[in-house]
Amino acid sequence: MGKLYDAIDGRLREFIDRQPVFFVGTAPGGDGGHLNISPKGMSGTFAVVDPLRVAYLDYYGSGVETIAHLRDNGRIVIMFCSFTGPPTIVRLHGRGRAVVDGDRDWESLLAHFPKAGKHAVRSVIDVTVQRVSDSCGYAVPFMDYVGDRDLLTRSHERRTADDLVDYGDTKNRASIDGLPGLAARRSS
C-alpha cells in the first residue's frame, strides 16, 4: 500500500541516492499535446537540495520537452524505482523550472553537483516538491546495474561551448508541439 510523506526524509533520501536511474514526466497544459517521459541517469546528476526541493542536471539533447513543458505550466513528476532489493517506487510531484547559465540561481544550483561533469549542461531542473509518495514495485523486474554509459559525455566533449550554443539554438528552440524551449543565445 502506498504512503504519503511530509518530506524527503532520511530513509527516502538514502533510497533516492542509491538509484542509478530516474524518470521524469511532464505534459503541456490543456487537453492536447504530447506527454513526455524521459529516463535520466549518470552518477552525481541528481541532488536532494532540501526536504522539499530537488534538482538534476539537464544536458544538451535532441529534445527539449521537459524545459518547454515547465515553461508552459511547471508541472513535473520524478519517479525512482528499485531494480534490486525490496520492491519500491518513489514519486516526487511538484513544480519545476529550468535554470540556465546567466540566471540568478545558476551557480548556487551547480554547487549541488560536485562530482558531475558540467560541460554540456544546458539547464538545471529545479523542483519544489509538493507531494512525496511511495508504492510497491511488485511488478518491477530485478535488473543488474552494470555502470553509467559514457557516450553522452564523449559526444559532448567533442563540442566547444560555441558548438553547444549553436546546437541549442537549432535543435532546442521548441518542443515537438511547438512550445518554446530554450531561448536563442545568438542573434540571427
Q: What is the pLDDT of residue 187?
A: 61
pTM of the model: 0.94
Neighbours of 64 (CB within 10 A): 26
Q: Name, in order, each residue with C-beta under 8 angstroms of 4's C-beta and a sequence gap of 6 or more.
A: 131, 132, 133
Looking at beta carbons, which pairs linking 45-50 to residues 24 or more positions away fall under 8 Å? Answer: 45/113, 45/116, 46/16, 46/22, 47/112, 47/113, 48/8, 48/13, 48/16, 48/17, 49/109, 49/112, 49/126
CA-based torsion, 21, 19, 118, 28: positive or negative: positive
Instruction: Convert the pLDDT of each residue in 11-23 to its tens digit.
Output: 999 999 999 999 9
Q: Which residue do the cell numbers 511530509 mark? A: 6
Q: What is the homologous superfamily of the domain 3-171 according to CATH?
A: Electron Transport, Fmn-binding Protein; Chain A (2.30.110.10)
Tell me: pLDDT of 166 over 70: yes
Q: What is the pLDDT of residue 69?
A: 98
Instruction: Convert the pLDDT of each residue in 102-131 to its tens digit.
Output: 999 999 999 999 999 888 999 999 999 999
- Residue ranges of the domains in the chain? 3-171
Q: What is the pLDDT of residue 49?
A: 98
